[in-house]
A = this chain, B = another copy of it.
Amino acid sequence: MPYSAEHKDKTRKKIVETARVLFNRHGFNGVSIDMVMQEAGLTRGGFYNHFKNKEQLFSEAVMSFLMGRGAEWREDAGVDVSNLQPEMAHQMINAYLSPEHLNDLDGQCPMIALPSDIARGGIEAQQSFQTLLEAMVSLFETNMSSDDSTNRQWAQAIAALCVGGMVLSRALPDSTLAKEVRVAAGQSAKRLLSEGQR
């Protein structure tokens, strides 16, 4: 067996990570397979040894955020998934709506960078999207008071505020207004959080 199994796996991971960055920046149609492979230091020929088609790559790129770049994100924000504390939800909201996140075109959350692409895309990409959202909602939910069946609702609304605030911010040409929106979304998100923590 020439080429160790790890080699193929490493190559595949590199392609996915490269694709994640490029898709984040340019969207599904703005990225060609050539572009991805070149950026990964390969040529387009090998692509179909790793993936069925471009859609599959897209879906995996979206999903890869959760355990890859997203994990770094949570770490930077001081969010420890294995040891959740009430103030972590606050930190998560602040980090998600921060100018740093807005400026991080490569590392940003795909829910912000790619919602239209995913809405129009195949079901696989949508499944990846749903997994991301569920992770985010579950993080907020876990930070609430233990026995209230409405926690999930609050958590979902907070997620909608975070994503909505950033999606709006990204599409606005006036950076002052964009900041206003992020601040407004953040304040309201924390207000909703305190409802859930009551």
Interface on A for B, CB 8 Å cutoff?
Answer: 26-27, 29-30, 111, 113-120, 123, 126-127, 129-130, 133, 152-154, 156-157, 159-165, 167-168, 170-174, 177, 180-181, 183-185, 187-188, 191-192, 195
Contacts and interface: CB of A to CB of B under 8 A. Distances in A.
Determine how many copies of this chain the complex contains. Answer: 2
Contact of A126 (B113, B123, B171, B192): B171
Looking at chain A's contact residues, the main secondary structure is helix
Nearest to A173: B126
A187 B127 contact: no
B171 A161 contact: no
B160 A185 contact: yes
A27 B120 contact: yes
10 contacts: A27-B29, A115-B116, A115-B170, A118-B171, A123-B173, A133-B168, A153-B188, A159-B164, A160-B188, A164-B165
A160 B159 contact: no
Contacts of A119: 113, 167, 170-171
